[in-house]
Each structure stands twice: as structure tokens, then as C-alpha cells.
Structure 1
Amino acid sequence: MTKLLPTSTAGSLPKPSWLAEPEKLWSPWKLEGPALVEAKRDALRVTLAEQEGAGIDIVSDGEQTRQHFVTTFIEHLTGVDFEKRETVKIRDRYEASVPTVVGAVSRDKPVFVEDAKFLRAQTDSPIKWALPGPMTMIDTLYDAHYRSREKLAWEFATILNQEARELEAAGVDIIQFDEPAFNVFFDEVNDWGIATLERAIEGLQCETAVHICYGYGIKANTDWKKTLGSEWRQYERTFPRLQASSIDLVSLECHNSRVPMDLIELLRGKKVMVGAIDVATNTIETPEEVARTLRKALQFVDADKLYPCTNCGMAPLSRDVARGKLKALGAGAAIVRRELSA
């Protein structure tokens, strides 16, 4: 990636209303069979055009072909029973009915590789593809088989590595692992969470990223944020170990959050995807607001390692709002790019 301040999104983008019910997580598909396959690909084309039209440099599928950033991957694995459900507390925040691990987990066939090949064929832009991280996967399940969070995480890391290697072969430039659980289970992150992430990226030649945020703009997350006080210092617990890891990029939440910007200094030497778009509000940022966040970040990360991004995914937002936010991100990065080149 040679362009200065290359922009990207952290994850999901809203789905068109003909594909799934808008502004809703886990929204069921409106079609089935071959019609659904075609509709997903049409949605992928649309979301790609919207990203490129907004000046987004590193494009993604916007997660158009999956219902949810974690469970869609798990649905394709053996050893997990989606009919047998238990209620668990996800990320120590909210209760959810989740599937059960009933036997040894394995991946019998690729999950997203065909979708990645399709996206690669549509664009010459660099592509980023998101996968759930091992710790966030185990936090979205009830484990009746391994009965050990760490053991299950290592199993998932091996499976993720298989998928990641095939995504790389399909032409993906950056593989991102989504680990919101890294903002909650700090001891586990440092004991084995980062180690399992290293296992997931083993042998990859493409760039790798980890995305750690404060979640979608849903009520359970915004309520949790209200309990975190005037400064959010969760990143302080994990960034030193991430800085020493093999991960190339770290994606974090900055705009409209209470994360002290100087925590980015803990990642010195890494590429940093700075969240300059708030996904928990319908208010569309101005390009100047985005530029202001990026200028603050530049005090703590070198310009050639700053990647402007969104705080998190935008699936629960309306398409109009998401489109406006993408344009603001592209325009705000362009302002700072001009300032730096001057």
C-alpha cells in the first residue's frame, strides 16, 4: 500500500433492503437458494461501488454475504449444533442465545473463499477481508465439549489459519481478525489470546490486522460505555503485547470515544487503523471533524503508518447515513493527505 493515509472500513456495511431487513443485526435473508446467491453478489457489487465512489482505498465485501461477523463463520464448521442453544453472557455485557459446541470442531470446506475470489475479480483496489478472532468466537458459543476456553480458542485458531491461507491465495491483501473480546478479558488476552491470534496468522505473507473496538452502536454496547468512566483505558492492557506481536495493523476506536489518543503511542512501530468515524450515531461527521481526529493521531503514529478507518462496522445504520460517513472519511483523509504533502 503506497498511498499515504489509505482509508478503509472496520467491517460491515448496511445491506440493501431487497437482501435483508435493514438496520438490524442477524437480519434474516429475504431470498433463498440461487436467488439468494445472486442477490448477495449484487449487494457486494453495490457496496464495492459505494466504497470506491466515497474514496475508500482498501475495499471490503462490507460483509454482504454473511448475517453476522462471528456466527456465519461458525455455521460452516462441524462440531457446533445450532439447534441446541444455551443462554450465555457475551463479553460480560448482554445475554444471548447461542449454539453449543458438541464435538471436535473442524472446517471441512472453505467458508468465504469463493466470495473473496468474486470480490477480487471486481476491483483492482487492495482488498481487506475480516474473520472473527479466536477469543471472540469462543465468547459467542456454549462449550459442552472442550470445557476450556483456551483449548477451544487454539482449535479455532488452527481453523482460522486454514481459511486465512486460502483467502490469501484468492488475492486478499489484508486479513483482519475481529477481536472485541480483547477489550474485556485482559488476563486471558495476555495469557493466551494474542498467542492464539499469532497461530491464526501463521505462515501468511499478506498483511494481517486485528480490530479491537467498543462494539456496534447497539443499546447493550452504548449502555456498557456509560459505565466506563471519563477515560477508556482498556487498550492500555493489551497494546504492549500487541506491539510485540507479529500482527501488522491494529484497528482501534478513536472518534467520539473516551479513549486517550496517547495510548496509540503504545503501538509505536505498528500500522494503526485509526477509527475516525463514530458508528454509534446517525450524525454524519464533516470531513474537517475526521481530519481533526487524524491530526491528533499523527502525534502518536507516523504518517506512513496511519490508516484512517471507521470505529466499527456500520450494519445497524441506514444506507444513507453509512454512505455519508464513508464520504466524510474519504474527504477527511484527503484534507490531511494534502496538508502532509504540502
Structure 2
Amino acid sequence: MSGPLTTAIVGSLPKPSWLAEPEKLWSEWKLTGETLVEGKQDALRAAVQEQERRGLDIICDGEQTRQHFVTTFIEHLSGVDFTQRETVRIRDRYDASVPTVVGAVSREKPVFVDDATFLRSQTDKPIKWALPGPMTMVDTLYDRHYRSREKLAWEFARILNQEARELEAAGVDIVQFDEPAFNVFHDEVRDWGVAALERAAEGLHAQTAVHICYGYGIKANNDWKATLGAEWRQYEHSFPLLQRSSLDIVSLEGHHSHVPMELIELIRGKKVMLGAIDVASHDVETPEEVAATLRNALEFVDAENLIPSTNCGMAPLPRSVAQGKLSALSAGAALLREEMATARG
């Protein structure tokens, strides 16, 4: 993972239509039993091949084996009842029917380790695995037991750390925690959010990343973005805290957003996974557009610490669009690498 402009995507890729209904979050599986297990592995293998074929440097699973980036992990925990559902406000933006915490939460066995082991067997390149962050997990549930977002977050942080250590042992090079809630609950981020995140990452030798975005390219998120004004400065709250944290990499939304690029200065010294691909549009970026977004960031982060990426996951996009965006990402990074090499003479 050395050298300038090492490319990776945030996480999800569209699933094949034979596995789940395309262009939809929380899409139901079309297979069952052993056929589903085999189908998930086939989809994961295809996602790896697609990333490699299109020139990505760090490979992920494309989240092919899970329905949703948060709830699939929670499904495997005890203390959460998926039959008792309540409607809650997710990320303070939209209502969703969610499961209920009814008792002490715990992890009876590893959740993603078998899938990560399979991913490791499919590529010689560095691999990255995403887990939901503690605050975002709390925000995706109704809590009838702890009755405290902070207490529940600390329990989840402990559980996530168990999982992360086993993912590392399975050969994962980067463990990424997804915390879109960090762009909404700024007081909680300051009071306990970053501390809980550090607990989830405690003791890892693998690199650790936190991904904070403005959400998938779905209507509820797009409508929210339209209310944020000419400049999106939410990162101003979390970045100074993350700059002082133990996390190695900070992942943020860049391309076609209203995030002022100079906010990256607030995480100087960290690796920056910069979104140079817009996941809320079906338009495929040109390599030149990607290179321009990355070039603008180089004033605030060294090229060796800049990881060109996507703004968020691409699960809701058509597969052909997502594949085109993968190619654009790697081609744009290559364009800028060539430009930098020419400038060095």
C-alpha cells in the first residue's frame, strides 16, 4: 500500500440480479440455503475480479454477502429482536422500521470472518473490510434495554473490537468503520463518539479507517443535502477530534459535494481516503474530472497519504454505471500520477 494515490472504494458494489433485486437497499435474497452461500461467494469473487480488472489497488468485498452495511452485522448479535420493530428517525433524516434492543448485546460467534477469509483467498492485493461504527449502529436501532445511546455504543465498540481483531487475523489489511452518523450528531461525536470508535479499533495492527459521508445516493439523502446550503462544513466538527485520534485513515466525500477542500487541513498527518466519484449520479466521471478533484486535495495532503476513492457505496447504482466509475477512478489516479512524475522530471 505504498506509493502515491493508492486507489480503493468505500464499500458496496451493486449485486448481480440473480442474487438480489438490483438498485435497491435492503434487497431480499433470491436464493436460499447452500445455494445462497454459494451465490454470495460467486458474487464476491466477481466483485474482486471487477476491481482488479479495472485497476484498483486495495480490494474489498463489495459487500456482496450482506444486505445492508449496518443491519447485517446486528442480525448476528444476541440481545436484539428483529421481530419487535419500531419506527425511528435514521440519521435525523428519514423514518425506518428497525429492530429493538431487548437485552444485553453480545456476539456469540464471528460475523464476517469466513467471508473475509474467502476474500483473502481471492486476491494477492491488500484487502479492506468495512464494519459499521458504534454510533451508526446505535442510530439504526430502537433501544428498550440500555436506554442510553452512549452505553449501547460502548457495548457495540467492545463487540466490534472482537470482530476487528479476528478480521485482522484472517488477513485483512485495513479495517474500516462506517460512521455517517458523525455528520449529524456533533455533540455526541465530541462527548463519546470518537472515544467509542477508538475502543472499536483498540489494539489492531491492521490499518484503521473511519468513513464519514453524506449517505448513499438515495432520495432521502439527496433531499437532505439540498438543505445544507452552499458550503457543507459538518466535517469541521469531527476532523479536529479525529486528527488527534488513533485512527490511521479518514474517508470523506469530495466530488460534486459542497465540502470545502481546505477542511482536509484539519486532518493533516492522517491518510485521506477522498471521494472522487459521485455515487448520487448515474453520470460516469471522466478520468480528467477525477484527477481534478484529487489535484485540488494535494494542497492539503501529501500524495503518499491520498487514497482516491468513492464518496460512498455504490449498491443502489446500475452495475454498468458502477463498473464505469471504477474504471474512471483508477484512470484518474493514473493520470495524476503521470502528471506528478512529469513534473518531477
Distance in 2 of aligned mates of 1:177 and 1:135:
10
Q: Whole-Å Cα distance in 1 between the matches of residues 258 and 68 of structure 2?
A: 27
Task: Report the more deviating stretch, 3-12 or 96-105.
Answer: 3-12
The match for 2:278 is 278
Across the aligned residues of Structure 1 and Structure 2, the Cα RMSD in angstroms comes to: 0.4
Report the residue type matching 2:39 in the other structure: A
Once the 2 structures are TM-superposed, how far is the Cα of residue 339 of structure 1 from its aligned partner? Answer: 1.5
Residue 55 of structure 1: SS of its match in structure 2?
coil
Helix, strand or coil at the partner of 1:24: coil
In the TM superposition, what is the alpha-carbon distance from 1:341 to its structure 2 partner?
2.1
Is 1:291–2:291 an aligned residue pair?
yes
TM superposition shift of 1:75: 0.1
Corresponding residue for residue 155 of structure 2: 155
Which residue number corresponds to residue 141 of structure 1?
141
Q: Residue 186 of structure 2 corresponds to which residue in structure 1? A: 186
Could you tell me how far 1:82 is from its partner in structure 2?
A: 0.2
Q: How does 1:54-203 map to 2 (within 5 A)?
A: 54-203=54-203
- Deviation of 1:254 after TM superposition, in Å, equals 0.4
- Structure 2 distance, partners of 1:226, 1:153, is 30
Paired with 1:11 and 1:228, the residues of 2 have a C-alpha distance of 25
Separation in 2, partners of 1:341, 1:52: 23
Q: Which residue of 2 aligns with 1:305?
A: 305
Unaligned 5+ runs, structure 2: none
Q: Deviations over 1:297-333 (max 9, x none)?
A: 0011011100000000000000000000000000000
Task: Give per-residue Cα distances to partners, 1:241-261, cap 9 Å, x unaligned.
Answer: 000000000000000000000
TM-score normalised according to structure 1 size:
1.00
CA distance in 2, matches of 1:109, 1:341: 48
- Deviations 1:106-131 (CA, angstroms, capped at 9, x unpaired): 00000000000001011100000000
What residue number does 1:222 align with? Answer: 222
What is the CA deviation profile of residues 198-256 of structure 1, one whole-angstrom value per residue up to 9, with x for unaligned ones?
Answer: 00011100100000000000000000000000000000011000000000000000000
Taking structure 2 as the reference length, the TM-score comes to 0.99
State the alpha-carbon separation in 2 of the partners of residues 177 and 107 from structure 1: 17
Separation in 2, partners of 1:243, 1:337:
26
Amino acid at match of 2:95: E
Q: Deviations over 1:63-102 (max 9, x none)?
A: 0000000000000000000000000000100000000000
Letter of the 2:90 partner, please give it: I
Alignment gaps of 5+ in structure 1: none
What is the deviation of 1:11? 1.1
1:3 deviation in Å? 2.9
The one-letter code sitting in structure 2 at the alignment partner of 1:319 is: R
Q: Where do 1:44-59 residues align within 5 Å?
A: 44-59=44-59
Where has structure 1 moved over 6 Å in runs of 4 or more?
A: none
- The number of residue pairs the alignment matches comes to 342
